[in-house]
Amino acid sequence: MQEPTRIIAIRHGETDWNVQGRIQGHQDVELNATGLRQARRLAQALRRETVGCIYSSDLQRALQTAQALAQTTGAPLVTEPRLRERSFGRYEGLRFMQVQTEAPEHARRWRERDPHYAPEGGENLSALRQRIAATVDELAARHAGEQIVLVAHGGVMDMLYRLATRQHLQAARTWQLPNAAVNRLLWNPGTGLTLVGWADTGHLAADSRDEQHD
């Protein structure tokens, strides 16, 4: 019987668009100063972890976060475009309030998490769930008995939580998706993901002395 795979799932560090409330999607936004600091602290917190491989979305905000981890753990880093955020098509770069004003019916379906709603040129939640489930199954199966890290985005973290807890796509979110938090899951062949721990941000709470003024 194949051994389970341990997974550490990480949402990228903060970006200016996070602060501004802009919809990022597939836009290649880099980390801001806070995000870079979060990535360093995350890397220090996980430096003693044994990691078989780090898989990262190819978008810069995730890749910069993953590179910090790779430097401290020594684990190989592989870019995986299937770990990208959900595509929001023509609404990328806007704030949700702007979508509400421009297209209230679209905003309603988005807010209600309609599984079949896709912004023009974007991706619906059903497709996102299928993409993430298939990607995790494939990557985890490569590393039976090992631990891997997945560095991705808020929408991906949300989907991993739903997959692990068997929650419906339209279930109200009662869990947090903090930037640079440590989320732990277990993957077993046949049964998929289970939740081990979620949204650990202890490593971000206290400034280290050498970073207080950066």
- Out of 80, 85, 92, 123, pick the active-site residue: 85
Does 15 appear as a known binding residue?
yes
pLDDT score at 94: 97
Does 16 appear as a known binding residue?
yes
Residue range 25-41: mean pLDDT, rounded: 98
pLDDT, tens digit (0-9, with 9 covering 90-100), for 125-158: 999 999 999 999 999 999 999 999 999 999 999 9
pLDDT, tens digit (0-9, with 9 covering 90-100), for 161-185: 999 999 999 999 999 999 999 999 9
Supply the pTM of this predicted model. Answer: 0.94
Does 14 appear as a known binding residue?
yes
For residue 200, the 8-state DSSP code is E
Does 13 appear as a known binding residue?
yes
Query: Structural domain boundaries of the chain?
Result: 5-86+124-211
The secondary structure of 101-145 as a DSSP string is HH-HHHHHHHHTT-TT---TTS--HHHHHHHHHHHHHHHHHTTTT
Q: Which two tokens stand for residue 11?
A: 């949402």
Own/partner pairs, 101-108, CB within 8 angstroms, 24+ separation: none
pLDDT score at 147: 98
Residue range 41-70: mean pLDDT, rounded: 98
Catalytic residue status for 112: no
Catalytic residue status for 123: no
Q: What is the CATH number of domain 5-86+124-211?
A: 3.40.50.1240
